[in-house]
Amino acid sequence: MSGALLELKGVTRAFGGLKAVSDVTLSISRGEILGLIGPNGAGKTTLVNVITGVHPATTGRVLFEGRDITRLKPFQAARAGIGRTFQIVQPFPELTVIENVAASALFAGAAPSMRAARAQALERLAFVGLADMAERNAATLTLAMRKRLEMAKGLAMRPQLLLFDEVNAGLNPVEIDEALRLIRAIAASGVTILIIEHLMKIVLSVCTRIAVLHHGELIAAGAPKDVVADPHVIQAYLGKRYAAGGSMHA
- For residues 118-139, give the mean pLDDT: 96
The number of CA neighbours under 13 Å toward the Cβ of 6 is: 32
Domains of the chain: 4-81+159-243 (3.40.50.300), 95-158 (no CATH)
Contact assessment for residue 164 and residue 195, using Cβ atoms and an 8 Å cutoff: yes
pLDDT digits (tens, 9 = 90+) for 138-196: 999 999 999 999 999 999 999 999 999 988 888 999 999 999 999 999 999 999 999 99
DSSP string, 80-94: HTEEE--SS----TT
**Res. 67 pLDDT band, cuts 50 70 90:** very high
Q: Which residues pair with 21 in a beta bridge?
A: 13
Distance (Å, rounded) from C-alpha 238 to C-alpha 128?
32
Contact assessment for residue 89 and residue 64, using Cβ atoms and an 8 Å cutoff: no
Distance (Å, rounded) from C-alpha 150 to C-alpha 62?
25
| Cα Rg, the chain, nearest whole Å | 18
Distance (Å, rounded) from C-alpha 38 to C-alpha 230?
13
pLDDT digits (tens, 9 = 90+) for 129-152: 999 999 999 999 999 999 999 999
Q: Is pLDDT at 201 greater than 90 in this prediction?
A: no
Q: Is 114 exposed, middle or buried (0-12, 13-18, 19+ CB in 10 A)?
A: middle
pLDDT for 114 equals: 93
**Res. 241 pLDDT band, cuts 50 70 90:** low
Torsion of Cα atoms, 126 then 130 then 136 then 138, to 10°: -120
Distance (Å, rounded) from C-alpha 46 to C-alpha 131?
33
Distance (Å, rounded) from C-alpha 124 to C-alpha 227?
34
**Res. 1 pLDDT band, cuts 50 70 90:** very low
pLDDT digits (tens, 9 = 90+) for 36-55: 999 999 999 999 999 999 99
Pairing of strands 161-165, 192-196: parallel
What percent of the chain has a predicted confidence (pLDDT) above 90? Answer: 79
pLDDT for 167 equals: 87
pLDDT for 183 equals: 94
**Res. 245 pLDDT band, cuts 50 70 90:** low
Would residue 69 be called left, alpha or beta, if left means φ above 0 and alpha means ψ between -120 and 50 degrees? alpha
pLDDT for 187 equals: 95
pLDDT digits (tens, 9 = 90+) for 89-100: 888 889 999 999
Q: Is pLDDT at 249 greater than 60 in this prediction?
A: no
What pTM does this model have?
0.89
pLDDT digits (tens, 9 = 90+) for 209-218: 999 999 999 9
pLDDT for 246 equals: 45
Q: Which of 12-16, 47-51, 222-226, 239-243 has the lowest mean pLDDT?
A: 239-243
Q: Report DSSP state, residue 176.
A: H
pLDDT for 15 equals: 95
Contact assessment for residue 185 and residue 197, using Cβ atoms and an 8 Å cutoff: no
pLDDT for 250 equals: 39
